[in-house]
Structure 1
Amino acid sequence: SLTATPMSHRCAESGGHDQRRVHDPIGLGDRLTGFGLFFAYPLGATVYFSFTRYNLFTLEYVGLDNYTFLLHDGDAWKAMRNTMWLVAIVVPLRVLFGLGVAQLLTRIRRGGALLRSVFYLPYLIPPVSATVAFVFVLNPGTGPFPTIAHRLGFSLPDFFNEAGWAKPGLGLLGLWAVGDVMIILLAALLNVPASLYEAAAIDGAGAWARFRHITLPTVSPVLAFSAVTGVIQTLQYFTQALVAAKVASGQADLAGTHFAPGYPGGSTLTFPQWLYDQGFRQFNMGYACVLALVMFVIAMAFTLVLLRQFRAFAGEEAG
């Protein structure tokens, strides 16, 4: 009888039609719609407007004029150099410092939770408040750090009022708020199997050999994530540099005035600041689209290079 027939036989006789299918809750159509609305259309519109002179009221096709103007825009190249300095110096320092702090916290037995909170709390402070406090702390006239340094017999530079020290000051601000990098690297380090370290110690591997051949390969995906996201965030560096320049110049409390970004001497002018100034203050939307495309291409190039390097490193270690 049918009731006596094994379920597997019934399924085989029916051609397997009774087997349940697992459906993707997000269909291909939804994916294509989201891709078109949130990536393809904005990118296509940016490319189109980059060939126009557009000020929100009038639209005029100008061909490659905006791209030609970029080649002779000294402020854009200054902003690009400042941004590339932050990418080349601050991003590696934040990753290395975050890895060092995370490695230290894995070895602390007492007070580890308190130290994790101490290192992570600065990242939770809103960027504007954190930057204002950091500038005042390093202010030569009122800051506690310059005062302590003076009593110890040496002096600190005026970080945000000297053109040569403004970018290093922003770098110190980035290291102070390294909690986001530290916390994910700490989680990665805690997930490294202890058996690997024990086996390496039995084979006579020293501390550096264990770190080089066990820790780094294991946490390399997290390092790659930290580096890529750090580059993308730094290419969009805007708030901290602008607020630090306004506070240091004494114009933070002057409402309704036009503040030219980059104080002192253009040293804190970043590429996103110049893009914002051209698009939303000068209303050169077409030229701002060119700047946005340049930033997009640079971010993609950095991402591809970093991912390739980390994959090569992981492949060498696996070999």
Structure 2
Amino acid sequence: MNVAIKKKQSTQEPIAQTRKKANPYLMIAPAMVVFILFSFIPILYMIYLSFHDWNFISPDMNFVGLNNFKHLLADPRFAQTMRNTFLYTVLTVVGFIILGLLIALALNKNTKVHSFMQSVVFAPHIISLVSISMLWLWLMDYDYGLFNYLLGKIGAGPVSFLTNPDIVMYSLAAVSIWKGVGYYSLIFLSGLQAIPDDIYEAAALDNTPWHRKLFKITLPMLSPTVFFIGITSIIASFKVFETISIMTQGGPMNASNTIVYYIYETGFKFFNMGLSSAAGVILFVVIAILTFIYFKLMAKKVYYN
């Protein structure tokens, strides 16, 4: 009887071990299915379309090889779109990091007032981007906007926030920073609160001035947070669409057109899905390269201990 029990246990153990090893894969299986269906397969199809000429309506596709990519690289409008996207990304990422850190430092106190202000600062992040874009479209309106009304009260002339090609990208970046800075400031705040108090206490015993505490303690300890915010905000800024679509539609004179809006416009307004897909492939490659470079440059400067 003991032999039979041992045989039964010996057959059950491999099954239990197999189930135990399979559990992690079963847990991530739903997410992987969603990723494959809604991300991986569309990316492959986008790459396939980038080598074809297709008007989105006709069932016929013509293979054109690299012609779509050659057209984009030779198109001055696409080059301007990429410059606009890079400018917008630099403005928003720098704004998120600097303003987010300053707000977090100001709110890093455990009082009811500071808790309330944290909620106020975070509030724009949970508001619909469409609603925010409509609000700022009115605020920046040349004729009836609140900003130009206030400027008129102090004797300053009206400013063409959204119709001047020289400043329109700065105006759009300001809208995005206003919406997103509260979210990033709370991430900075969580990083600040994770710094051990005894480090600051030791610095206080040495009469360390505040600026040395900031640059020798706070910023190095926040480097993982800065790294995270940098990479996520870069990717998010390259994918900006709603703000452009609602406030400027890429104008004036293509001065606020960004890569994602260019992809949408080329594919769904001009019905050139091949060219639109080629632009999407270029966007994918650019984000991948920038992410790789960012990791290489910043990974060694991040303090994790």
Question: Where do 1:192-207 residues align within 5 Å?
Answer: 192-207=195-210
- Partners in 2 of 1:76 and 1:308 — Cα distance? 28
Q: Flag the 1:46–1:138 CA change in 2: closer, same or farther, 3 A.
A: closer
Question: Where do 1:156-235 residues align within 5 Å?
Answer: 157-177=159-179, 178-235=181-238
User: Which residue matches 2:245?
Assistant: 242
Tell me whether 213-222 or 105-114 shows the greater mean CA deviation.
105-114
CA contact (8 A) 1:242 1:268 kept: no
User: Which residue matches 1:60?
Assistant: 62
CA contact (8 A) 1:157 1:165 kept: no
User: Which residue matches 1:48?
Assistant: 48
Q: Flag the 1:222–1:51 CA change in 2: closer, same or farther, 3 A.
A: same
CA displacement at 1:132 relative to structure 2: 1.2
1:268 aligns with 2:256: yes
CA displacement at 1:79 relative to structure 2: 1.0
User: Which residue matches 1:118?
Assistant: 120
CA contact (8 A) 2:227 2:302 kept: no
- Partners in 1 of 2:156 and 2:195 — Cα distance? 43
Q: Alignment length, in residue pairs?
A: 291
Q: Deviations over 1:112-158 (max 9, x none)?
A: 12211221111222111111111212334323333223323434522
Structure 1: gaps spanning 5 or more residues: 3-9, 246-260
Tell me whether 289-298 or 275-284 shows the greater mean CA deviation.
275-284
User: Which residue matches 1:251?
Assistant: none
Q: Deviations over 1:244-301 (max 9, x none)?
A: 11xxxxxxxxxxxxxxx32222111111111111112222111111101110111111
CA displacement at 1:107 relative to structure 2: 4.2
Counterpart code for 1:293: V
CA displacement at 1:231 relative to structure 2: 0.9
User: Which residue matches 1:249?
Assistant: none
The residue matched to 1:63 in structure 2 has which SS? Answer: coil
- Partners in 1 of 2:109 and 2:185 — Cα distance? 14
CA displacement at 1:39 relative to structure 2: 4.9
Q: Flag the 1:33–1:109 CA change in 2: closer, same or farther, 3 A.
A: closer
CA contact (8 A) 2:51 2:274 kept: yes
- Partners in 2 of 1:133 and 1:208 — Cα distance? 38
User: Which residue matches 2:25?
Assistant: 27
CA displacement at 1:232 relative to structure 2: 0.8
Q: Deviations over 1:27-74 (max 9, x none)?
A: 289487666545543333222221111223311111111111112222
Identity of aligned residues (%): 25
Q: Flag the 1:186–1:280 CA change in 2: closer, same or farther, 3 A.
A: same
Counterpart code for 2:43: L
- Partners in 1 of 2:226 and 2:172 — Cα distance? 22
User: Which residue matches 2:285?
Assistant: 297
Higher helix share: 2
User: Which residue matches 1:147?
Assistant: 149
Question: Where do 1:94-109 residues align within 5 Å?
Answer: 94-107=96-109, 109=111
Q: Deviations over 1:232-252 (max 9, x none)?
A: 11111111012111xxxxxxx
Q: Flag the 1:43–1:148 CA change in 2: closer, same or farther, 3 A.
A: closer
- Partners in 1 of 2:252 and 2:173 — Cα distance? 16
- Partners in 2 of 1:103 and 1:132 — Cα distance? 31
Counterpart code for 2:269: R
- Partners in 2 of 1:195 and 1:280 — Cα distance? 58
CA contact (8 A) 2:137 2:247 kept: yes
The residue matched to 1:23 in structure 2 has which SS? Answer: helix
- Partners in 2 of 1:142 and 1:287 — Cα distance? 39
CA contact (8 A) 1:140 1:158 kept: yes
- Partners in 1 of 2:40 and 2:250 — Cα distance? 33
Tell me whether 107-116 or 77-86 shows the greater mean CA deviation.
107-116
Q: Deviations over 1:175-206 (max 9, x none)?
A: 21122211211122122111111112223332
Q: Deviations over 1:214-239 (max 9, x none)?
A: 22222222211111111111111111
CA contact (8 A) 1:54 1:60 kept: yes
TM-score, reference length from structure 1: 0.81
CA contact (8 A) 1:140 1:147 kept: no
- Partners in 2 of 1:62 and 1:73 — Cα distance? 17
- Partners in 2 of 1:238 and 1:34 — Cα distance? 23
